[in-house]
Every structure is written in C-alpha cells, then in structure tokens.
Amino acid sequence: MSIGQPSGAQILWQALEREGVEVVFGYPGGAIMPAYDTLLDSKIRHVLVRHEQGAAHMADGYARASGRVGVAVATSGPGATNLVTGIATAMLDSVPIVCITGQVSSKIIGSDAFQETDITGVTLPITKHNYLVTRASDIARTIREAFHVARSGRPGPVLVDITKDAQQAHADPMWDDKPVSLPGYRPKYRAHAEDVSRAAEMIDRAERPIILSGHGIVRAEASSLLFEFVDKTGIPVASTLLGLGGFPATHPLSLGMMGMHGEAWVNQAIQEADLLVALGMRFDDRVTGKLETYAPNAKKIHCELDPAEINKNVRADVALVGDVKETLEALFPLVTRKNRLKWTDRISKIKGNAAVRDIQHMPHGGRLFAAHVMHDLWRITEGRALVVTDVGQHQMWEAQYYKHDFPRKLITSGGLGTMGFALPAALGARFAQPKDEIWVIAGDGGFQMTACELATIAQEGVKLNIAIINNGYLGMVRQWQEFFYDGRYSATPLRSPDFVKLAEAHGLRGLRVTKREEIEETVGLARASKETVLIDFRVEQEDSVYPMVPAGAALDDMIRRPSAIVETAQDD
C-alpha cells in the first residue's frame, strides 16, 4: 500500500458510481462496516431496509421498473443468507441485480468464524455468477464485471462477496473503461438468416398462428416493434404473466394471458393453433400444462436469447437464438401483410362462450369480489398505474382484470412465485419511477411476510398505494384444498392484524373497504393523498380463480367457474 491510495471500501462506492448507481438498498453489520463507513462520503443514496430479503426485492423492483441494474448490500452470515429468496426470485425472472455482501477477513475464512457463511457456495445455483473478493486491488474490476454479467445476454443476479480485510486495505483501483470481455462468456447471439427466412415462410403459410409474447419482449424494449409486426401479420397475441403489457391488452388482437389461470379462449386457441411464434418466453410448466398434449397441431418457432431454453420443454421446429428485438427486425420485412379473419372469427366464437362465465358480468349483490376491486382499480387509474403484485389468487385476478397496455407497468414474481415480494419490490420501483402512480396489490398472507418494510416506507417518506386483498385465508392454497383435497382447509385460515391500525402505527394512513360501492371514493382518497395509504379490502373469503388448468393437466382440461355460482350471484 502506498500513502494516498483509496481503501477497498472507497473503491467499492467509486466503482458503483462509475456504473451509474444512484441508490442502493441495504442493511449494515460487522463484516460490511468498512463499506458503510465510506458510504457517508459517497453520492449514492442508501435505503435502510428492515430485512435483507426486502433489500434484494427492492433492487429487483428497481431493475424491473427501470431496465437498469438494482443493487442490494448486506453483511456476512445472516445478512447474506437473508438475501437468498430475493436472489432466487431475480434469477428465475432474469432480473439484473448485483448483491454486495461483506465477508469475514480472508485469514479466517473456513474457520467457522463469527457470522461466516459460504455465501458464494450457497448462491451458486441461484446466481448467474458470483465472486469472492479478498484483495482491495480486485474490487474495481470485479464490480465492472459483475454489472456486465448481470445486464448482458439473459440478465440475472450476480453476487460479490468482499472480505473485511479487502475493504480495509488500500490499493490502486486500476480503473479500466474498455468494454468487458470475459473468457468463455458469449452473451450475444444472432439468429441465422436461413432460419429467419424459414420462420417467415412458416408464418406466411400458417392459417391459425398465435404469438406467445413473454418477458423478453418487455426486457428487450421490443413492444412497439411487436405492435407493428402484429399489425402487418394479423396474428393474435397471447401473453405470459411476465409478458403482460408487452403488447397492449386493449388491442383487438390481444387475447390475454395463457396458461394455468389464463383465459379459457386463449388456452383453447393455443390447442387449435397450427403455429406458435414464441417471443422471449420459456414454455414454463404453468404455461404449457401437460407437455404431451400441448398445442398438438402447432409447429413452433422459438425466439429466445438463451440457447439453453431451446428444446428444454417444448421442441422447436425453428429456433431463432438472439435478442428478440433484433430477431423481429430481421423477420419483419420477410413476412407478408395479411389479415386472418377466419382464424380471429373462430377465436371470437370460442371467447363468446367463455365470457358469459366471467365474474365481471355478474351482479355483486352487495358482496365485494377481488375481481371487482381489480377491475375498478383499472378503470379508476385508466390502466396507467404501475402495479406490483404479490403471489396468490390476487396476483391472478390482477393479471386477468387489470388490463396492462404498457410495458414495465406490471411487476410480479412469476418464476419463483415469492410471497412477500410486492411491498419491497414496489418501494424499489418507486426509486426507479418517481412520478408513476404505484399500486401494491398483496394478499393478507404475503403482505405479512415483509410488512416490516412499512417502516422503511415511512422513514424514506415515499408515496405508495397499497391494496390488501384480505380474504382471511392463504387463498390460493385454500383454493387447491377446495378443488383437490376434499375441502380440507389445513393451515390456510389466517388471522391478521388490523391492517388499518398497522398502517397508522407506522405513521401511514389506513382505510377499509367492505362494499363495492366504497371502492371509487376510497381509491380516490388514496390517489389524492401525498402520503402512503393502505386500503384493507375485505373481499369474499372463499372465491376461486377461474378458469384453472390443474397442475400437470392438458390445457383443454380447464376447471371453469361453476354455473351454480353464476346462478347464486344472480339470485342475490
């Protein structure tokens, strides 16, 4: 070390500033104290979370809302392990985050030192890459690489574990602004021209094609191009959960969500299709149902960034590996302008039959259905809010009834299905989109998993709108028990605190809605308020999400809303 050289801790913040980081979400502790000390001299804003899981979800929400890399910071041992759920959530949804953890000093690694956990070992399968840094002189280079890996190719979480002595030592940072090049890491692919031509011919020949639009469309900022592509080819679009908003839900050729809780007509149309054009989606089991019976008559064109996804679940007739926007750009001039009225008429016919069972068409008879809350929220916010949902029935109702017309306006944990995600992810999104109207939609169960972040919201003085869809149950599990376990409600009835008082205890505002007529005014109060408002929506307790394809069943084997319920509702 020579006098005047910065410490590893100082290099860390400078390296983050050079990556354009403006805010990090974290929690201090022994092994990361040198970094927290030098944080005071940095321009970067630090948000003190109440639990490190919240920090990872905030970084994730920030990344999804902005398209930039989110950053979480934690200490070694329990701090680091508390990040794990958030890292796995980001991994399964391909979200670029960088997690920085303190580690015990390099000399005592492996001695079961106080708060020592092998966090690079723990997170190996749930990170895109991770690093253990033991020298101050490696910090700058490692942070650059970490950001490059997180954001390039198929994005994902990267963890950088830095020993305490590396933070304390002084070194030459060796700044380097050349593009990062890592041996063996080839994140960029481009679809072969012959395959693009074959795909275009298949699209032209198809009589019953469907586009399956996924998260990749949103991530690649390919929404407007998809819009033009659909305009030219006349192909209807079905969306995955994470793809919602990638193509406008109110467009006449938008069919809605596919899969387990997708619209009945979407799943039926997929089963009747002769061509699936999959764009930035990975044929998750919640999307395909039973693979042997999935889209039996359809050829498949799979446009995907990650070659590992090709032929993983569904065999592709043509694979176009590369950025989905670049692939669409190449395809666009080769396809013929068409309308496909016969096919869209056929889909409208299937739809006509399903729509009569739609809960929106039923009188509510004084009762408050979650679906009505979603529908009214969509109407009142004119479909423009950024909605962050938790996991469960409310998540599916939101996907069905809040019509997203814009990309990056729905943030939800799709792959891991992480309860407790919504509140912290929304707080992260708030820092990415300071002007957006943000609504958290959470169940009474999931909300309680990370409700401690209400204190973070209060401390940071930020404005969110929080809707708790309170049905007194772990609703989605209760629904499965009703359908598949003879109605034996094991461990699903749920007693909750008074959410209104909980909000007030945090210095926030709490309101309650028990009837549909109260929605408009209460939502209006929340929207008009400058402070965070939590609304406790007391909804029907034993309503279920329909339609439903039971896990592992064929897409055509849907459980539909029983007509008995239609009649009961109409009797009211």
Ligand X SMILES: Cc1ncc(C[n+]2csc(CCOP(=O)(O)OP(=O)(O)O)c2C)c(N)n1
Nearest to 467 by CA among 403, 433, 412, 513: 513
Least distance (Å) between residue 280 CB and ligand X: 24
**Minimum CB distance to ligand X smaller for 259 or for 475:** 475
90 lies in the binding site for ligand X (CB under 6 A): no
Output DSSP code: residue 547: S
**Minimum CB distance to ligand X smaller for 288 or for 448:** 448
**Minimum CB distance to ligand X smaller for 243 or for 392:** 392
Which residues in 473-512 contact ligand X (CB under 6 A)? 473-477
Nearest to 281 by CA among 250, 248, 314: 314
Least distance (Å) between residue 443 CB and ligand X: 2
SS (H, E, C) 338-383: CCCHHHHHHHHHHHHHHHCCCHHHCCCCCCCCHHHHHHHHHHHCCC
Respond yes or no: is residue 164 known to be catalytic.
yes
**Minimum CB distance to ligand X smaller for 64 or for 394:** 394
- The CA distance from 508 to 119, in Å, is 36
418 lies in the binding site for ligand X (CB under 6 A): yes
**Minimum CB distance to ligand X smaller for 104 or for 477:** 477
Catalytic residue chosen out of the listed positions 115, 168, 433, 459: 115
The piece of 26-34, 144-152, 209-217, 414-422 that touches ligand X (CB under 6 A) is 414-422
CB 534 within 8 A of CB 509: yes
Output DSSP code: residue 126: G
The 10 Å Cβ neighbour count of residue 391 is 24
Residues 6+ apart with CB under 8 A from 3: none
**Minimum CB distance to ligand X smaller for 234 or for 417:** 417
Q: Which helix (H) or strand (E) holds 65?
A: helix 52-66
The 10 Å Cβ neighbour count of residue 500 is 17
- The CA distance from 471 to 474, in Å, is 8
- The CA distance from 259 to 264, in Å, is 9
- The CA distance from 198 to 318, in Å, is 8
Q: Residues touching ligand X: how many (CB under 6 A)? A: 20
368 lies in the binding site for ligand X (CB under 6 A): no
Respond yes or no: is residue 395 known to be catalytic.
no
Least distance (Å) between residue 491 CB and ligand X: 9
Catalytic residue chosen out of the listed positions 260, 476, 548, 558: 476
**Minimum CB distance to ligand X smaller for 226 or for 374:** 374
Which residues in 379-398 contact ligand X (CB under 6 A)? 390-394
Catalytic residue chosen out of the listed positions 128, 164, 300, 409: 164
Least distance (Å) between residue 492 CB and ligand X: 8
Q: Which of 67, 307, 417, 507 binds ligand X (CB under 6 A)?
A: 417
423 lies in the binding site for ligand X (CB under 6 A): no
Respond yes or no: is residue 342 known to be catalytic.
no
425 lies in the binding site for ligand X (CB under 6 A): no
CB 457 within 8 A of CB 527: no
443 lies in the binding site for ligand X (CB under 6 A): yes
Helices (H), 411-562: 422-432, 444-449, 453-460, 475-484, 499-505, 519-528
419 lies in the binding site for ligand X (CB under 6 A): yes
**Minimum CB distance to ligand X smaller for 148 or for 261:** 261
Respond yes or no: is residue 52 known to be catalytic.
yes
Q: Which of 469, 502, 555, 558 binds ligand X (CB under 6 A)?
A: 469
The piece of 46-54, 324-332, 345-353, 471-479 that touches ligand X (CB under 6 A) is 471-479
471 lies in the binding site for ligand X (CB under 6 A): yes
Tokens of 475: 């609703």
Output DSSP code: residue 42: S
Tokens of 173: 């940072």
446 lies in the binding site for ligand X (CB under 6 A): yes
- The CA distance from 572 to 364, in Å, is 8
Catalytic residue chosen out of the listed positions 10, 19, 25, 52: 52
Catalytic residue chosen out of the listed positions 17, 107, 114, 567: 114
Angle formed by the axes of helices 393-401 and 370-380, nearest 10°: 40
Respond yes or no: is residue 540 known to be catalytic.
no
Binding site for ligand X (CB under 6 A): 390-394, 417-420, 443-446, 469, 471, 473-477
Task: Just list the catalytic residues.
Answer: 52, 114-115, 164, 476
